[in-house]
Amino acid sequence: MLKLSVIVPFYNVQQYAPDTLKSLRANARDDFEFILVDDCSRDETPEILARAARELPGAVYVRHEHNGGLATARNTGIDRARGRFLTFLDGDDWLAPGYYPQLVAAAERLDCDFLRTDHVQCTGRARSIHRVPHGRRGVVMSPREAILPADRTTCVDYAYAWAGVYHRRLVDRGLLHFTDGLRTAEDRPWIWKLHREAESFAVVGLLGVHYRRGVASSLTQIGDVRQLDFLRAFDQVIAETAADPDAGTLLPKAVRTYCAVMAHHLGSIERFEPAVARRLRSLTSAALKRLPQPVLTEVLDSMNAQRSTPLRRLRRRPAAGRAVAA
């Protein structure tokens, strides 16, 4: 069996793909494979990847006939992966040379279900280090113990799939796939599922992934209807957490995080197209009414007024038919 499978979705990233592929080459090893998934790009990305499939050791090139979004592209890679360990990279990010061999060595040493790592955020020429919000390093722990407390940033808020490595047994247990079709916030239900249902994890102080922030084509920068998938993603988090045996303990964290993300989008609503902005308000109002109301009241009371006030207004808004995030 191969040691590591690296799953890299690409979509219209011709400007950045060469750097990404160059960094993969600097991490190549005979027992590594690189699954390059083109999600039906319309620029020159397919030609770049076809060439890389011939030149990059261990490359496997897969092209979607239709654009399915990041979650679906990652699932394609997971289904093709043959490695004992799996990890992810986005098609506009890059790696430090020799990072993956260090990551695999740490995974073998600690022998847990998954590892989480720090990363370097790159915004233009600026660089900043972002740490996993977990104090203990190099110690195998229960993932559930890293979900709480509700009022602090924890590991479920550090949802980047590429900031870590995952044992194949998670695939076998049905825990590594993403929710098909989610175009944003796809990593939120995924990270919550890992922390609720996996048996062991650890955090290691490795820096190797360079995350390119502020890319114009990224969904985080585009104010169209695809951004509203965050509502569907967090509805899934709430529903699955509500079914958990520890729902009474975990739901306040899930609801608080959902509210924080709603408030974030409402606070920058001017970047959305007008029709999408109206839909955002309507869907947010409906989502607030679906949440467990006693928990929601406690969460809103604990938030600052700048974030809670718009949510309180939308919570009071009369229902206008059944709103569904789609």
Residue 229 falls inside a structural domain? yes
- State which of 185, 203, 219 marks the end of a domain: 219
Token output for 34 = 């690189």
Token output for 305 = 């007024």
**Beta carbons of 234 and 179 less than 8 angstroms apart:** no
Q: How large is the average pLDDT for residues 22-50? A: 98
Q: What is the pLDDT of residue 215?
A: 63
Q: How large is the average pLDDT for residues 17-36? A: 98
Residues 23 and 128 in one domain: yes
pLDDT digits (tens, 9 = 90+) for 286-321: 999 999 999 999 999 999 999 999 999 999 998 765
Q: Cα–Cα distances in Å, from 312 out to 169, 288, 294, 300, 303?
A: 43, 9, 14, 8, 11
Residues 187 and 232 in one domain: no
Q: How confident is the model at residue 1 (pLDDT cuts 50, 70, 90)?
A: confident
Residues 142 and 196 in one domain: yes
The alpha carbon torsion through 141, 157, 92, 87 (nearest 10 deg) reads 20
Average pLDDT of the residues of the chain: 95
Residue 323 falls inside a structural domain? no
Residues 177 and 74 in one domain: yes
Q: How confident is the model at residue 222 (pLDDT cuts 50, 70, 90)?
A: low
Q: What is the pLDDT of residue 73?
A: 98
Strands ordered across the beta sheet of 2-10: 59-63, 32-38, 2-10, 83-88, 164-167, 114-117, 201-204
Residues 183 and 291 in one domain: no
Q: How large is the average pLDDT for residues 21-28? A: 98
Residues 116 and 192 in one domain: yes
Residues 236 and 262 in one domain: yes
Residues 176 and 247 in one domain: no
Residue 128 has pLDDT above 90, yes or no: yes
**Beta carbons of 291 and 253 less than 8 angstroms apart:** no
326: helix, coil or strand? coil
CATH for 142: 3.90.550.10
Residues 176 and 260 in one domain: no
- How many residues would you count in the chain? 326
**At 116, which helix (H) or strand (E)?**
strand 114-117
Token output for 119 = 């990363």
Residue 321 falls inside a structural domain? no
Residues 185 and 254 in one domain: no
- Partners of residue 117 on adjacent β-strands: 204
Residue 326 has pLDDT above 70, yes or no: no
Residue 322 falls inside a structural domain? no
Residue 90 falls inside a structural domain? yes
Q: What is the pLDDT of residue 321?
A: 52
Into how many domains does the chain fold?
2
Residues 93 and 14 in one domain: yes
- State which of 219, 248, 266 marks the end of a domain: 219
Residues 212 and 227 in one domain: no
Residue 322 has pLDDT above 60, yes or no: no
- State which of 203, 219, 235 marks the end of a domain: 219
pLDDT digits (tens, 9 = 90+) for 84-112: 999 999 999 999 999 999 999 999 999 99
Q: Give rounded-to-5 percent helix, strand, coil for the chain.
A: 45, 15, 35
Q: How large is the average pLDDT for residues 137-163? A: 97
Residue 325 falls inside a structural domain? no
Residue 324 falls inside a structural domain? no
Residue 221 has pLDDT above 60, yes or no: no
Residue 277 falls inside a structural domain? yes
Residue 216 has pLDDT above 90, yes or no: no
pLDDT digits (tens, 9 = 90+) for 58-82: 999 999 999 999 999 999 999 999 9
Is residue 4 packed enough to be buried (19+ CB in 10 Å), middle (13-18) or exposed (0-12)?
buried
**Beta carbons of 210 and 22 less than 8 angstroms apart:** no
Q: How confident is the model at residue 214 (pLDDT cuts 50, 70, 90)?
A: confident
Domain of 201, in residue numbers: 2-219
Token output for 18 = 């060469």
**Beta carbons of 301 and 268 less than 8 angstroms apart:** no
pLDDT digits (tens, 9 = 90+) for 258-285: 999 999 999 999 999 999 999 999 999 9
